[in-house]
Amino acid sequence: MDFPSSFLNKINTAKKIAVLTGAGVSRESGLDTFRDVGGYWSKYNPYELASPQGFLKNPLLVWQWYQARRNRAKEAEPNPGHLALAQMEKLFPEFYLFTQNVDGLHFRAGSQNVYELHGNIFKSHCFSCGASYDIDFEIGESIDTIPNCPRCNGLIRPSVVWFGESLPFDILSLAYETSRSCDLFFTIGTSSEVYPAADLPYQAKSKGAYVVEINPNETSFTRYADLSIREKSGEILPKILDTIKEIKII
């Protein structure tokens, strides 16, 4: 693919890179987005499965839902897009990857500087006291299989951001700071509809960063992007990686 000279020039001069990835990147590894999940779980209102109120009302149902998602995430493999981003990280002085995905695939691909805006499906914490746990709980058909906190006996819940909850303050603050100070910003596989993450490319653009959008579909941000590429991330990111390597070698 022939990239515009403006993009090539920015690659050559950029020191600080910010990346935002969304559900489309995980979809290319075979994982359904939250809104696309069908079958058995489609009969439930999302708030029943992903809200504090839903968890307190029926913790077994919520845990079974997340157990099913965990199992799918374990079976999935990082795709070429994940792998290309992990390699890109090594080619710039500063590289920050912010993701809305909770499946951990960026880490498995080898990325180091990853910040999970919406949490991680493989981590848990106590609903009452907040104690963190990295245990891979196995949830069965009985209420007795729901894990309780050894410290306070409260219910342990998945460490993901639910409806009505705020994103982690430290990570969100870093995301805003990085977006406002980067040279080059990539928004990849995200619908640009879920805030506050959807605001990050606008922040980058407002401060003069060169913003690249990668998405098979047009989004509300498309008209503001300096470069908008209508391809899957797993197809275009390896090409961008090769181009970066060529420029850096030269």
**Catalytic option among 82, 106, 118, 125:** 118
User: Is 125 one of the annotated active-site residues of the chain?
Assistant: no
Give the contacts of 62 (CB within 8 A, at least 6 positions apart).
48, 49, 50, 54, 55, 157, 158
Q: What are phi and psi of 205, to 5 degrees?
A: -60, -40
User: How far, CA to CA in Å, does 95 sit from each of 66, 69, 81, 185?
Assistant: 31, 29, 16, 10
Report yes or no: 177 and 209 within 8 Å, Cβ to Cβ: no
Report yes or no: 65 and 59 within 8 Å, Cβ to Cβ: no
Active site residues: 118
